[in-house]
A and B are shown apart, each in its own frame.
Chain A
Amino acid sequence: GIQVEQSPPDLILQEGANSTLRCNFSDSVNNLQWFHQNPWGQLINLFYIPSGTKQNGRLSATTVATERYSLLYISSSQTTDSGVYFCAVEPGSNYQLIWGAGTKLIIKP
């Protein structure tokens, strides 16, 4: 089956720093989504981005489907950005999402 790899696994930054999170996938996909899971376990959809670039405030994402990777950019980090960032892909027509292991981000004040 398709493999989804996220890097780095852990990231510790000072408030105000910028970061780039990467998601590689091993086969073509129908769509790709980025999620943020906060320390209380709540999963928030950040981007639905099968290809191209999208921006939402301090966050932006780019997916290059032909090269099988996606990047999530976080600028001017805030402590509330802490948590785990997941990339999830839909590989075929059975509508299930395959998830990466996540990047754990800690923003220090």
Chain B
Amino acid sequence: DAGVTQSPTHLIKTRGQHVTLRCSPISGHKSVSWYQQVLGQGPQFIFQYYEKEERGRGNFPDRFSARQFPNYSSELNVNALLLGDSALYLCASSLVEQSPLHFGNGTRLTVT
């Protein structure tokens, strides 16, 4: 079975632009989470969705939004990009809530 897939793998954007990151969970997994990882640090929680409902939101500004589709895939949107948004964005899926997380390879976002 395919693992968690994320697209694109790399992205370069200019300050003020908007970006959409995509994630397909492992088949059968109903929960998707998004994390931001800055170089040298552990991942920071952004959102968690389960059965298409937002179940958790981390300490990120409203410029960050996400949604989960009926096929359980997910999008993370970031508006009005700032230089500080440059990071590795990781998507993880799990079978249900409170079960092992499985991560995709991430999207490396660079904001110039």
Contact = CB atoms under 8 A, between A and B. Distances in A.
B59 to A, nearest CB: 10
Given A42-B105, A43-B103, A94-B55, A86 B42 contact: yes
How large, as a class, is the contact surface on chain B?
Answer: 20 to 34
A97 B101 contact: yes
Interface of B: 31, 33, 41-45, 48, 50, 55-56, 58, 88, 90, 92, 97-103, 105-106, 108
How large, as a class, is the contact surface on chain A?
Answer: 20 to 34
Contacts of B105: 41-42
B102 A99 contact: no
B88 A41 contact: yes
A96 to B, nearest CB: 4
A85 to B, nearest CB: 11
Contact of B98 (A31, A45, A86, A99): A31
Contacts of A30: 98
